[in-house]
Amino acid sequence: MGGEGAAENSSGELLSKAMLLGRAMLKRSILLVAIAILFAFQLVRGAAAVELDAETRTVPLNDDGDTIVLSLEQITTGRREFNTACASCHLAGVTRTNPNIDLSPEALELATPPLDNLAALVDYIKDPTSYDGAFDISEVHPATKSSDIFPKMRNLSEDDLEAIAGHILLQPKVNSSRWAGGKAFY
């Protein structure tokens, strides 16, 4: 009789150990699947910038007609800094405070002075004026000139400003259906 009880205890312990092992393996499997999904997401997300060829990454540099090819780093930095400093009012290129003036190539070209190139946009981010160029709006529009009023502008370097301007000029090429009043998803 003592042998039967020992055998039952042994099989109960084995069953308990098997269940613990099964749970541990399930947890590891779930963890591996989660890691694989995150890795795949990062690959897809990073591939967007990598897939842009030099022609697509080429934007107007100045009023003289010169162009610049944005680096992949500039594209990534531009998106990040635009989302940090500008997207609260210009999400998807729409101007929330005045939807009649957006960040489309047409609106940028018709501004006075035209803002349809990287140098002009950088100047605007530093010292913004009204759409007709008649007066300074740095007290109501974030600018590096008014970083005391708009703290998010304090830490933007010249390279950051160029990356933001490049982002604005690149978006109509890569997100034409969703940029500046298209089918905005926000």
Torsion angle of the four alpha carbons 27, 32, 37, 40, in this order, in degrees rounded to the nearest 10: 180
pTM given for the model: 0.72
The predicted model gives 135-139 an average pLDDT of 96
Query: 17-21, 40-44, 100-104: which has the minimum mean pLDDT?
Result: 40-44
Distance linking the first and last C-alpha atoms of the chain:
73
27 in any annotated domain:
yes
Do 93 and 163 lie in a common domain?
yes
Q: How confident is the model at residue 149 (pLDDT cuts 50, 70, 90)?
A: very high
Residue 169 reports pLDDT greater than 50: yes
Q: Are 39 and 80 part of one and the same domain?
A: no
One domain, residues 44 and 130: no
**pLDDT for residue 140:** 95
Average pLDDT over residues 27-32: 82
How confident is the model at residue 168, as a pLDDT?
Answer: 98
Q: Verify cis geometry, omega within 30 degrees of 0, for the bond prior to 60.
A: no
Each residue's pLDDT tens digit, 83-113: 999 999 999 999 998 889 999 999 999 999 9
**Residues 127 and 40 placed together within one structural domain of the fold:** no
Q: Which DSSP category does 59 fall into?
A: E
Alpha carbon separation from 100 to 83, 103, 172, 180 (Å, rounded): 21, 10, 17, 10
Q: Give the Cα separation of 31 and 41 in Å (integer).
A: 15
pLDDT at 17 (0 to 100): 80
Domain of residue 128, residue span = 58-174
H helices of the chain, in order, are 2-50, 72-85, 87-90, 105-110, 118-126, 158-174
Co-location of 150 and 89 in the same domain: yes
Query: Is a pLDDT exceeding 80 seen at residue 186?
Result: no
Task: Report the number of distinct structural domains present in the chain.
Answer: 2
Q: What percent of the chain has pLDDT over 90?
A: 65
Other Cβ atoms less than 10 A from the Cβ of 102: the count is 19
The predicted model gives 116-131 an average pLDDT of: 97
pLDDT at residue 36 greater than cutoff 80 = no
Are residue 66 and residue 110 in the same domain, yes or no? yes
CB 91 within 8 Å of CB 130? no
